[in-house]
Chain A
Amino acid sequence: MPLIATGLIAAILLVLVISLYNRLVRARNGVENAFASIDVQLKQRCDLIPKLVDSMRTYMTHERGTLDELTQLREKASAAGATPAERVALDTQMSGLMRGLMARAEAYPDLKASETVTLLQRSLNEVEAQIAAARRTYNAAVTSFNTAIEVFPANLLAGMFGFARRPLFEATADDRAVPGVR
């Protein structure tokens, strides 16, 4: 009799552990999936930048340095072997440069009038908006993952199987502001 009871309890515990573990795996996959969707958008932006840089070069004679820097960063980011963390860092740098450029573009009326540039800027805005959405989705996934591994009793299991807290994307003030292109 006690043997059966022990067996039953062990079986219930095992089922609990399995379901907990599966939940953690699902949460982690959610995070990875969300990150992948950011990655897709980042790549799109990387493809857009050389086109934009080329069309802006004709007008923005005083910004050669910034434009060159952007091209270099872009090459680094799209090079094989860059880790996700590196790509995110490069992306942040590129975003900053792009914003600076856009702000200064106001001073070039010819550039503002160019249809190609306007179109490219619209595409860039589109990608920016998509990236912002993807980042927020990523953060939502990370938050639910972090919560899942920290609550009791999942935290015991998380330690055992090596689930570690993931960092959130820092929402900078820039993310809220979309460059004003009309």
Chain B
Amino acid sequence: MATSAEIDALYESTLKPRLESLEGLRHEVKGYVTKAVLLVGTPAAILFLSGLISLALPSSLDWLPTAVGFVGLFAGVGIAGVKYLIPGFAAFSNYRVRFKHEVAAEVFKIVCPTASYAPLDGIAESVFEEPGLFNTRGGFKSDDRVRGRIGQTPFEAADVSRSYTTGGKNSRTVVVFRGLFFHIDFNKTLRGVTLVDPVGAASTSIGDRSGLTRVTLENPAFDAKFAVYASDDVEARYILTPSMMERILALQSRTDKNIHLGFKGTRAYLGVNYGRALFEPGIKASTSVEAIHEMAAHFALAGGIVHELDLNTRIWTKGVDDSLLDAPDADDSTDALDTLAKQGNLTASTVWEAAVKATGSHDETADAGAMRPSDTSIAVDRSGAGVVINYGLGLGFFVALSVWAVSVALMLAAARALPEAMEMPDLAAAVAWIPEIPYAARVAATLPFAWLIVGAIVGFFSFLMWAVRVRKVEIAPDAVRIWRGLRPIPRTYARPLYGKIVRVDKAVYVGKSEGFAMINASASPMLSAAEAPWVASEMRRALRETAR
């Protein structure tokens, strides 16, 4: 165990410069978080205080704060998600990984020189669940694994988190366990299972105790702090000797946290519930020397627990069992993104590419041999300077157009009928310009307000469906041109800025050649499963053929 002065020295000599070199990354992460919070928080605050703000406005404008809040919130969530979420995630992931390798690992080295530290590996979930100490509900995460031998006793310890969301209307997150979890070779062999629960633990933390008997021990201080459940009460006392109870009590009062212990087979399991993740870098402020000291104390606890529970006393018949040192990692994923993440080399575009890849359709080579489906009406014309792909307008376009026309008619008729139905004659002048629409007027008169809303919503979506529907794409040497809806003039995407074809399932998009974008320009309507790969491969071929 390193002294406090040694840790100070390490901080000054090694950690401080390293932390300073990580400052850039930290500011980047903090920037993303701040921007996202502002973007979402400001409209949320406006919405929350809309009642109060309205008081300051003339009564004709009292709807304004709510409307601004709503629109702002939607826009804020959208923009924050697109612009800050992925780069923020990538930056944080790199910051965290570099912090663990460059800072936490150094602290560990001087605190526990005989053990090894794997910051990104954890204890296996099966190990965590073996004794049945905790509620089995919820997701499991583990990292910062320490493994080695203290004296002759093999042990492993890791930062473990288990929590679940209750769901329903008042959904909240319940933390089952978050803290240091130990897996130690015990010095006695056991036939059954003995569990020691802290009396103060939440019932949502504790696992199922049916089938076990409650054991009352003769140490009143211990009984006041812990509840013991065992399959065999003699064995519980065999483990929990008077001195063991004292040691557990001492450990509890020193950490001042809920301590859970389980004994099963040849192993002891121990959880110190801190209620938060340990060994993580600071985001708000740089990691302080105090935080480094705290980290050293947690590592020291990991290495000291064997001594504290006196598990190096091996005077009984059980020998030392090393097998736990070869236990598999919690996460053996060999995913490319995972590997990059573990190296601290994540970029926004790699995250994005992985996300797109997860939809299973970004692979260019997969589309390479796609043939023209026999039943398609899409025409490819190579006669001009560029390649023209003509989708035509199709049935979907006309259906959308008709639905839109009907919706608009109903909406207008409803608006016209509204002043009379609502008994607000002042508004009559505002709708006087709307002519009488046959049929629609009769329908709309039944429930004008409802028809107004339905007409507006359906009209909006059907408008989108026909107005932005891709009709024709031309891939020319200088640009990609896309005709949408009924507009005669195409949108131009200049090359070489644009020049990448992305297929996501049954639709094809034109993206920027370099880097990545959250939103690519659509270059096709919804196609059939056979058409999409063919169109994508045709477009890629056209891009190659016309490239300058």
Asked if residues B218 and A139 are in contact (CB atoms below 8 Å), the reply is yes
Do A122 and B316 contact each other (CB < 8 Å), given the known contacts A129-B241, A137-B233?
Answer: yes
**B236 CB contacts on chain A under 8 angstroms:** 133
Asked if residues A137 and B315 are in contact (CB atoms below 8 Å), the reply is no
Give A141's nearest chain B residue, CB to CB. B233
Asked if residues B316 and A125 are in contact (CB atoms below 8 Å), the reply is yes
- B74 at the A interface (CB under 8 A): no
Report the separation of the CA atoms of residues A139 and B238 in the bound assembly, to the nearest whole angstrom. Answer: 14
Report which of B188, B218, B243, B317 forms a contact with A136, defined as CB distance below 8 A: B218
**Shortest distance between the CB of A74 and any CB in chain B (Å):** 21
Task: Give the size of the chain B interface in residues (CB under 8 angstroms).
Answer: 16
| Apart from the given pairs A122-B315, A132-B238, 14 other A-B contacts in the complex at a CB distance below 8 Å | A37-B234, A122-B317, A125-B316, A129-B241, A130-B234, A132-B241, A133-B234, A133-B237, A136-B217, A139-B218, A176-B242, A176-B243, A178-B315, A182-B315
**A125 CB contacts on chain B under 8 angstroms:** 315-316
**A137 CB contacts on chain B under 8 angstroms:** 233-234, 237
Asked if residues B238 and A123 are in contact (CB atoms below 8 Å), the reply is no
Report the separation of the CA atoms of residues A123 and B189 in the bound assembly, to the nearest whole angstrom. Answer: 12
**B243 CB contacts on chain A under 8 angstroms:** 176
- B349 at the A interface (CB under 8 A): no
Give A41's nearest chain B residue, CB to CB. B234
Give A182's nearest chain B residue, CB to CB. B315
- B20 at the A interface (CB under 8 A): no
**Shortest distance between the CB of A103 and any CB in chain B (Å):** 15
**B218 CB contacts on chain A under 8 angstroms:** 136, 139-140
Report the separation of the CA atoms of residues A125 and B217 in the bound assembly, to the nearest whole angstrom. Answer: 22
**Shortest distance between the CB of A170 and any CB in chain B (Å):** 13
Report the separation of the CA atoms of residues A34 and B233 in the bound assembly, to the nearest whole angstrom. Answer: 10
- A75 at the B interface (CB under 8 A): no
**Shortest distance between the CB of B297 and any CB in chain A (Å):** 31
**Shortest distance between the CB of B429 and any CB in chain A (Å):** 87
**A126 CB contacts on chain B under 8 angstroms:** 188, 316-317
Query: Which of A137, A178, A182 has most B Cβ within 10 Å?
Result: A137
- B402 at the A interface (CB under 8 A): no
**Shortest distance between the CB of B213 and any CB in chain A (Å):** 11
- B235 at the A interface (CB under 8 A): yes
**6 tightest Cβ-Cβ pairs between the two chains A and B:** A133-B238, A133-B237, A126-B316, A125-B315, A126-B317, A136-B237
Give B215's nearest chain A residue, CB to CB. A140
Report the separation of the CA atoms of residues A141 and B134 in the bound assembly, to the nearest whole angstrom. Answer: 29
Asked if residues A129 and B234 are in contact (CB atoms below 8 Å), the reply is no
Within 8 A of A (CB), among B222-277: 233-238, 241-243
Query: Which of A34, A123, A140 has most B Cβ within 10 Å?
Result: A140
Do A129 and B242 contact each other (CB < 8 Å), given the known contacts A122-B317, A178-B315?
Answer: no
- A181 at the B interface (CB under 8 A): yes
**B241 CB contacts on chain A under 8 angstroms:** 129, 132-133
**Shortest distance between the CB of A39 and any CB in chain B (Å):** 12
**B233 CB contacts on chain A under 8 angstroms:** 137, 140
Report the separation of the CA atoms of residues A137 and B233 in the bound assembly, to the nearest whole angstrom. Answer: 7
- B216 at the A interface (CB under 8 A): yes
Report which of A123, A132, A178, A182 forms a contact with B317, defined as CB distance below 8 A: A123
Asked if residues B188 and A129 are in contact (CB atoms below 8 Å), the reply is yes
Within 8 A of B (CB), among A120-164: 121-123, 125-126, 129-130, 132-134, 136-137, 139-140
**B237 CB contacts on chain A under 8 angstroms:** 132-134, 136-137
Report the separation of the CA atoms of residues A137 and B218 in the bound assembly, to the nearest whole angstrom. Answer: 9
**A140 CB contacts on chain B under 8 angstroms:** 216-218, 233
Report the separation of the CA atoms of residues A180 and B188 in the bound assembly, to the nearest whole angstrom. Answer: 16
**Shortest distance between the CB of A42 and any CB in chain B (Å):** 14
Report the separation of the CA atoms of residues A53 and B532 in the bound assembly, to the nearest whole angstrom. Answer: 88
**A34 CB contacts on chain B under 8 angstroms:** 234
